[in-house]
Amino acid sequence: MSQYDYDLFIIGGGSGGVRAGRMAASFGARVAVAEERYLGGTCVNVGCVPKKLFSYAAHFSADFADAAGFGWQVGETRFDWPTLIANKNREIARLNGIYERLLTTAGATIMRGRARLADAHTVTFAGRSYSAERILVATGGWPHKPAIPGAEHAITSNEAFFLPALPKRVVVVGGGYIAVEFAGIFHGLGCITTQIYRGPLFLRGFDDDCRQFLADQMRRQGVDLRFDTDLTAIEKTGDGYRVMLNSGTHIDCDLVMYATGRKALVDDLGLETCGVELNDKGALKVDGNYRTNVPSVYAIGDVTDRVNLTPVALAEGMALAWHLYRDQQRPVDYEFIPSTVFSHPNLGTVGYTEAQAREKFGEVTIFRSSFTPLKHTLSGSGEKALMKLVVDKASDRVIGAHMVGADAGETIQGLAIAMKAGATKALFDRTIGIHPTSAEEWVTMREPVA
């Protein structure tokens, strides 16, 4: 009989924590999962899932307009924000139930509330102490707002999913993927939308050609992008707000949304009681097996601030469970992880950007194509797509694929498999394309760009 109440006590019931708990319990471990907010974490409740549903909703305005070129007379349209919120909430509740059943069916215990570390093998919850052979911290991240005058008037992405009414004029602050996505969502739903970013171009870290191409497409649609601009204050003005800019000008709006970054959610977890070390960004430091400097304490997912993507947290939870309770090493490969920004249009990417590839591999060959997708030859929207391949010249291996266009994520997923398998440009060239699709462009780009 074990000397501990649990073999594994998990603090955080998001994607990573639930996956680790479910797998560990299915392997025979006695598992408890403590979650103070909602099962499924950020992704299910205030992240990937509702954001994608909102993105779908925001696309319909363009779809209605595109239909005319194909002979459809759509007629007068009207958008009802409360209907979207209610339907979204119903779907999230369904997913919460699925996550709960995944844990309970596997045999894990769910504790609803806040848990804290008391020492390296003890967790306190609801006034009681529980001992555990191992403790896993999987609390994720939380939006961060800079401390400027009037910052309390701004919302974050968390609150955007529960607004009582759709604002007419929106200012989105930030240059990361969350800011870009919400700028497209608000604009697509009919809001007058301004996105402000303090740098020269948003989406730092993505391929430069794609960043510029997406900015051009968003501006063409009518989103007011203001780069090299920052807020100095937010003032309440009657029913709205006045956003003061470092240029000395201002913008009047009905809603200010900050999306300027997220921080690891480590406050009030008791990490200091047993000396768990944080890095310079305030995230938990872990080794290759997700162990912190305290041998019995582990961490996965966004709380480690490494690759902050839900599928990565899921993979880490799986790898940890196999390592701890099956004594098998199934390490997560962090190279060629695909991702998509659900902007309007989408930006999909896998592998190295051109700049990263030149720095790591030296000589590279670039293939790039910008074109009007077949749909938009009749829609009249003027929307274009961009596809780009980065090839290591020495090996001919495709090491980067980037796309801006409709359903980029659906396309990039397939390329990620090919690139994971080491596909060369020659193999791409020998692959028959599906005609007529935008995706066939991946296998028909023959001439490298200068």
**Residue of 121, 153, 344, 435 marked active site:** 435
Q: Is residue 450 part of a domain?
A: no
Together in a domain, 72 and 137: yes
Is residue 363 very low, low, confident or very high in pLDDT (cuts 50, 70, 90)?
very high
| Count of domains observed in the chain | 3
CATH number at residue 422: 3.30.390.30
Together in a domain, 269 and 319: yes
Q: Is residue 135 part of a domain?
A: yes
Q: Is residue 1 part of a domain?
A: no
pLDDT above 60 (res 332): yes
The percent of residues above 70 in pLDDT, for the chain, comes to 100
Q: Write down the pLDDT at residue 256.
A: 98
Residue range 336-359: mean pLDDT, rounded: 98
Last residue of a domain, one of 243, 260, 277: 260
Together in a domain, 239 and 285: no
pLDDT above 60 (res 440): yes
Q: Is residue 331 part of a domain?
A: no
Together in a domain, 280 and 136: yes
CATH number at residue 170: 3.50.50.60
The mean pLDDT value of the chain amounts to: 96
Residue range 171-194: mean pLDDT, rounded: 98
Together in a domain, 272 and 244: no
Q: Is residue 332 part of a domain?
A: no
Q: Write down the pLDDT at residue 136.
A: 98
Q: Write down the pLDDT at residue 274.
A: 92
Together in a domain, 256 and 268: no
Q: Is residue 333 part of a domain?
A: no
Q: Write down the pLDDT at residue 65.
A: 94
Last residue of a domain, one of 275, 303, 325: 325
Task: Please state the three-class secondary structure of the chain as a single string.
Answer: CCCCCEEEEEECCEHHHHHHHHHHHHCCCCEEEEECCCCEHHHHHHCHHHHHHHHHHHHHHHHHHHHHHHCCCCCCCCCCHHHHHHHHHHHHHHHHHHHHHHHHHHCCEEEECCEEEEECCEEEECCEEEEEEEEEECCCEEECCCCCCCHHHCECHHHHCCCCCCCCEEEEECCCHHHHHHHHHHHHCCCEEEEECCCCCCCECECHHHHHHHHHHHHHHCCEEECCCCEEEEEEECCEEEEEECCCCEEEECEEEECCCEEECCCCCCHHHHCCCECCCCCECCCCCCECCCCCEEECHHHHCCCCCHHHHHHHHHHHHHHHHCCCCCCCCCCCCCEEECCCCCEEEEECCHHHHHHHHCCEEEEEEEECCCCHHHHCCCCCEEEEEEEECCCCEEEEEEEECCCHHHHHHHHHHHHHCCCEHHHHHHCCCCCCCCHHHHHCCCCCCC
pLDDT above 70 (res 1): no
Q: Write down the pLDDT at residue 375.
A: 94
Residue range 360-387: mean pLDDT, rounded: 96
pLDDT above 60 (res 186): yes
Q: Is residue 414 part of a domain?
A: yes
Domain of 182, in residue numbers: 151-260
Question: Is 435 considered catalytic here?
Answer: yes
Q: Dump pLDDT digits (tens) for 405-418.
A: 999 999 999 999 99
Q: Is residue 449 part of a domain?
A: no
Q: Dump pLDDT digits (tens) for 27-77.
A: 999 999 999 999 999 999 999 999 999 999 999 999 999 999 999 999 899
Together in a domain, 27 and 75: yes
Last residue of a domain, one of 302, 325, 348: 325
Is residue 450 very low, low, confident or very high in pLDDT (cuts 50, 70, 90)?
confident
Together in a domain, 118 and 267: yes
pLDDT above 80 (res 441): yes
Q: Dump pLDDT digits (tens) for 114-130.
A: 999 999 999 999 999 99
Together in a domain, 137 and 39: yes
Together in a domain, 115 and 18: yes
Is residue 170 very low, low, confident or very high in pLDDT (cuts 50, 70, 90)?
very high
Is residue 2 very low, low, confident or very high in pLDDT (cuts 50, 70, 90)?
confident
Together in a domain, 172 and 231: yes
pLDDT above 80 (res 138): yes
Together in a domain, 255 and 277: no
Residue range 7-25: mean pLDDT, rounded: 97
